[in-house]
Structure 1
Amino acid sequence: MSRVNWLDCETRFISARAQPAYLIDLALSRGIESHHLLKGTGLFYDDLLSGDPHISANQFHRLIDNSRLLLGADDSGFLYGQQLLPGHYGAASNMLWHADTLLQALQHLQQYKVLLSPLSAPVLRMDEQSVYVYWLDSFNAGKNRQFLIESSMVAVTALARQLGGPNLPWHYHLAHSEPAYIEQYWVHLGEHLRFQSPVSFMRIPREFVSKALPSSAVVGRIAEQEAGLQLSQLPAPDSFTDALYEYLATHISKLTGMEQVAADFGMSTATFKRRLQREGTQFQAQLDRARTIIALDLYLCRGMTNEDVAGYLQFNDRTNFRRFLKRLTGKSPNDLRQWLNG
């Protein structure tokens, strides 16, 4: 690989005046004292007003921890998500506003995820009928994972409504169980919901994201150039685990083992393991995540058979492939195919 630097959980690359500010505003609007909200984050309220402090993913997760604890409300992730996109992030937000189509806006969101969705990475896949948006933890979300999934899906839904109209037929697949506050999903996302999915993703018919939008091509291109310059000024364009996912997705059908991956990342195997540990994860967990998403993509977008999917993922034994899917999705290959097409 040509790149040797990645964002890690301690890199201060997130402007506190961007996504964190929306969460701070939400908490303050509900009477939360700022010193309680910002405890342990390394942030001070006056800093937000007098400068442009940058925080790390770990600091942002601490802010989310505090917000969830202090707000104690079922709707907080949904209300937070409503504000996130296009947002007020300068050129990156203007780029979304002036996209030629909703599909282009989603592609921008994926390409500029570090600026627009720093903790939760969207991954786009498409076939002739549908566009799929998967969601990955860019940094170990832990107990904040469900909050981030809720806010990220609401953010994209709100963006799509602003650009393409209010009645877009999104379908939502969520990895967690149906929560007690299901009415919040109905209000903010609609009724096309499926819980306990193997991974969390959104789906929409392709025709609805391909329609031309009333936009300014010149302003959009200028905004994209400026956003690209902003991205180039960051310490790195990807988190370590996002870069690892992209690598695995590209090489999964010919992967020989962790030693190969570590070497391609310019590290010894021991250093590679330590880097993953610092991010709160392990290679097997990242490999399982990539294989699961790729399996779903092969079933949904390419219509592959069980045997084809198993071969692509380098399972030469059907029993091992069945055990793999059962362990990670709770379903056998045939059951998973039926569930996805149901």
Structure 2
Amino acid sequence: MSSRLPLQNERIHAPYKIAALVEVLSEQGIAPEDSLKGSGVDVERIYDASALTSVRQYGIVCRNAILLGCSPATPFIVGSRLHLSAYGMYGYALMSCLSLRDYFRLGVKYHPLATPTLTIEWTEYPDKGVWTFPDAFISAPSRELREFLLEQQFTQHVTHLQDVAGRTCPPVKACFAYPAPAHADIYAEYLGCPCYFDEPQCELHYDSGILEQKPQLAHRLTATLLQETCDRLIGQAKTSVGVSGEVYQVLMRKPGEFPGMEVVAEALKMTSRTLRRRLEDEGTSFVAIVDDVRCSLATEYLKTTKMSTDDIAMLLGFSDPANFRRALKRWTGMGPGELRRQPG
């Protein structure tokens, strides 16, 4: 099972990875302006939750870090600071899942939501589970950048499993398909396991005995709700294509808060007039996207939770439950009760 990378120029991700890397470089005396040079990302926007950035832009900041002579420990430090709580829906869906097996499985399924720099695969064997990185040597233009991204990715996996499990849960071993670098001793320090180089492929191994363990924040209702939301984000091409996809991402950043067109346009660094024209070119409108998001969330909440209709109306920004019922009828042709009784 593998996850497909989004197009490299898509601005659909919050800048949390860029912010973490810029922070680490700043601690080494490298100015944020130098770290961000050529990326198109402004210093004042890296902590802006409404800002949208691409995998390509993050790759540029990583390349800058290497060219600026950053410490060899930089990707490991960044990976150790990128906790799942920074990943929004994706992170909370993983933290609330019901077993570590579910965590590994869903980590692959929802990986496109996580500013992915590498493709990941998860395979379970009788005695072990293995993360594999099949495109490790085609996804970055230089050896230094490929190794930088792998070092960070491996450390993120260790950090994220610790976040989910609520305790240290190190891999059995880590394998790398390249010669041991001069800083090879840093690998075991951050990954907490034996590390092997010149291996056939890049892999991270775990003992299958941990897979039935229950995450510290496991919660059936929360897991269902968040996984449904992630399924919709993954399953709908419109959430990752064009300007309409960027609008969807802004609206889904905080479900229940629906900023106006002016606010969304500002987040996308364009005027509301330009946004309106771009959406028209894609055959949609801002109102249609807001309605679609509200309809999707309403359907999801009605089918997967026991919240009252009034509570759902309030969550979706309706001041009057009657208006919500009318809107639901217009969107789906059904009332709340009928939708709840619908299968799946």
* Same fold flag (TM > 0.5): yes
Matched residue pairs, number?
A: 231
Name the larger-Rg structure: 2
TM-score w.r.t. the length of structure 2 is 0.61
Map of 1:77 onto structure 2:
75
Q: For residue 156 of structure 1, what is the amino acid of its counterpart?
A: H
Structure 1 residues 31-79: Cα deviation after superposition (integer angstroms, max 9, x where no partner): 3212111111011112334563323332221111012222520100100
Q: CA deviation at 1:22?
A: 1.5
Could you tell me which amino acid in structure 1 is paired with residue 109 of structure 2?
Q
Look up the match of 1:205. Answer: 207
Pairwise CA distance, 1:85:
3.7
Deviation (angstroms), 1:211: 1.7
- 1:162 is aligned with what amino acid? D
CA contact (8 A) 1:86 1:97 kept: yes
Report percent identity of matched pairs. Answer: 17
| Equivalence map 1:308-319=2 (5 Å) | none
2:316 paired residue number: none
Report the alpha carbon displacement of residue 28 of structure 1 after superposing the two structures with TM: 2.4
Q: Is residue 38–residue 66 contact of structure 1 (8 Å, CA) maintained in 2?
A: yes
Secondary structure of the structure 2 residue equivalent to 1:27: helix
Equivalence for 1:153? 154
Rounded Cα–Cα distance in structure 2 between residues aligned with 1:82 and 1:224 = 25
Question: TM-score, normalization: structure 1?
Answer: 0.62
Q: Answer yes or no: is the 8 Å Cα contact 1:6–1:235 preserved in 2.
A: no
In the alignment, is the contact (CA less than 8 A) between 1:109 and 1:116 conserved in 2? no
Give the 5 Å matches for 1:105-184: 105-137=103-135, 140-143=139-142, 144-164=145-165, 165-184=167-186
Equivalent position SS for 1:158: helix
- Unaligned ranges ≥5, structure 2: 242-344
For 1:43, the equivalent position in structure 2 comes to 41
In structure 1, runs of 5+ residues without a counterpart are 237-342
* Aligned equivalents of 2:132, 2:110: Cα separation in 1: 15
Aligned to 1:247: none
Query: Could you tell me how far apart the structure 1 residues matched to 2:42 and 2:10 are?
Result: 18
Contact kept in structure 1, 2:94 and 2:103, CA below 8 Å: yes
Aligned structure 1 segments of 4 or more residues deviating by more than 4 angstroms = none
Amino acid at match of 2:228: Q
Q: Cα 1:72–1:29, aligned 2, differ >3 Å: closer, same or farther?
A: closer
Alpha-carbon spacing, 1:216–1:177, altered in 2? closer, same or farther (3 Å): same
Preserved contact between residue 86 and residue 159 of structure 1 (Cα < 8 Å)? yes
CA distance in 1, matches of 2:197, 2:132: 14
SS at match of 1:54: coil
Q: Is the 8 A contact 1:102 1:211 kept in 2?
A: yes
Alignment partner, residue 313 of structure 2: none
- Contact residue 6 and residue 112 of structure 2 kept, 8 A: no
How much is the aligned-residue C-alpha RMSD, in angstroms? 2.3
